[in-house]
Chain A
Amino acid sequence: MFDNLINKSAAKSPWLFHINAGSCNGCDIELVAVLTPRYDAERLGFRLAGTPRHADIVVVTGPLTAQIKDRVLRTIEQVPEPRCIVTMGSCPASGNVFKDGYTYAGPLSKYVDVDVDIAGCAAKPETVLEGLYQAAMILEQKRKDMKNKGGQI
């Protein structure tokens, strides 16, 4: 009875967890700009969660350095299902200008399934909002799939 409602709610209240995997801080401030009054992501239900356990969408910025790789993967594992992984900016998706560096361990898609890529260096807040909105829709789909598979909730 409540399944339909839960599926719909999954798209309407996605909570974000932001991981900085060696980012230059450019994408980080753009992500915060999305939550400011001008773009106000909260009207779509987005909220920054304090811990990975509360999160639905993991936003990774930065090129995934060798030092932080294990921590990022461990943090992503702690997020309960259904979850979405979003790479923000060019770095986590490809390494960008750091791709030949000796500290570079990415891209992120080598280790986990990335759901949405947001391009830009740094990404424009509108683009981020669009990508996160896309991720919220994927979240609803994932919740449906999870239920159909008979997964534990």
Chain B
Amino acid sequence: MFNPMWLFYILVFPGALFCFVAGTLLNGLDRKVYAKMQQRIGPPILQPFYDFMKLMGKETIIPYEANKTVFLGAPVVGFVALVTIMLLLPQFGFTAFGELNADMIVIIYLLTIPAASIIIGGAASGSPYAGVGISREMVSVISFELPLVMVLLAIGKKAGGDGVTFSMKAIADYQAANGAMICQWSMIPAALAMLLVVPCEVGCHPFDVAEAETEICEGPLVEYSGAPLGVFKLNYYVKQLVVSALFAALFLGGKGTGIVAADAAIFYGECLLVTFFSMTLIRATCARLKVEQVFKFYWTVVAGLALVSLVLAWFGL
């Protein structure tokens, strides 16, 4: 039973085209505000778009030692996974693929794929810098996965009542009935933890140990050039959008207005806010951490915050 709306969902809204446009705009705004915080004028808001278009027009060099198929395929796989997450996230009442009734476990798996695509692409390029980069990427994935799962468990327990629910729809329904999740005081530590998980998940500045430009020459991306690099950069922009949208769906849901367009406008406005607080502000004020510092920070402070919420939720608060 093919539904013609599916094609529209996948290709236009909230699928590929929308992800491209909104992701580049979000990153452009992020860079502009970041520059403002440093008393600079900053690049134009369309700068990420220019970057992407320029990389599309550059020569693509494939290293002699690289596996061509994997090298070129990895960024596309990451992009497809990100678009898929976008299709499964509830935006107030509207979910593109609502019938699938996807749960959070799917989203956790799909969120790992962009990181995995970076790891696979880096490994295929056969550069020693990429080798260092992928080992760092793995460490950062391990560091943010634990707090992320604990946050999701806390939310699941809160929304599930007696049992634990993993359904995104149940969480959206719970928020529609009881107001946004962040208004529950027992969920505030989890929200803080999630705010700190977001930048590491995206791989932006203080936690970009894998792509440290000045230390290991952008790590896994070291051998990429031209169009595949452009798609990787696009992945970065879209990841910013998707992960902040995940935060908005989990914590800032609600009843909505009932009109899809207005709901979407509010939802992506919330994404902008999340991006500002979790990425731009932290990026502008902190220096890059070392690998072991990232690991320690996530498994003590952030995991601790998530644990507080989890325990509170377990006691029914």
Contacts and interface: CB of A to CB of B under 8 A. Distances in A.
Interface SS of B by simple majority? loop
Contact of A50 (B39, B56, B217): B217
B61 A9 contact: no
Given A42-B40, A45-B43, A53-B222, A9 B58 contact: no
Contacts of A50: 213-214, 216-218, 222
B288 interface: no
A136 B229 CA distance: 20
A13 B225 contact: no
B167 interface: no
B170 to A, nearest CB: 43
A97 interface: no
Interface residues of A, number: 30
A139 B181 CA distance: 51
B213 A48 contact: yes
Given A9-B50, A40-B41, A45-B47, A54 B56 contact: no
Interface string A64-94: 0000000000000010111000000000000
Interface string A23-54: 00000000000000100101111001111011
Interface string B27-39: 0000100010011
B58 A2 contact: no
29 contacts: A2-B56, A6-B57, A9-B52, A9-B54, A9-B57, A12-B50, A12-B54, A40-B35, A40-B40, A40-B41, A42-B35, A42-B40, A45-B43, A45-B47, A45-B50, A45-B51, A50-B217, A50-B218, A50-B222, A51-B221, A54-B218, A78-B61, A80-B225, A80-B226, A143-B57, A151-B59, A153-B57, A153-B58, A153-B60
Interface of A: 2, 5-10, 12-13, 37, 40, 42-45, 48-51, 53-54, 56, 78, 80-82, 143, 151-153
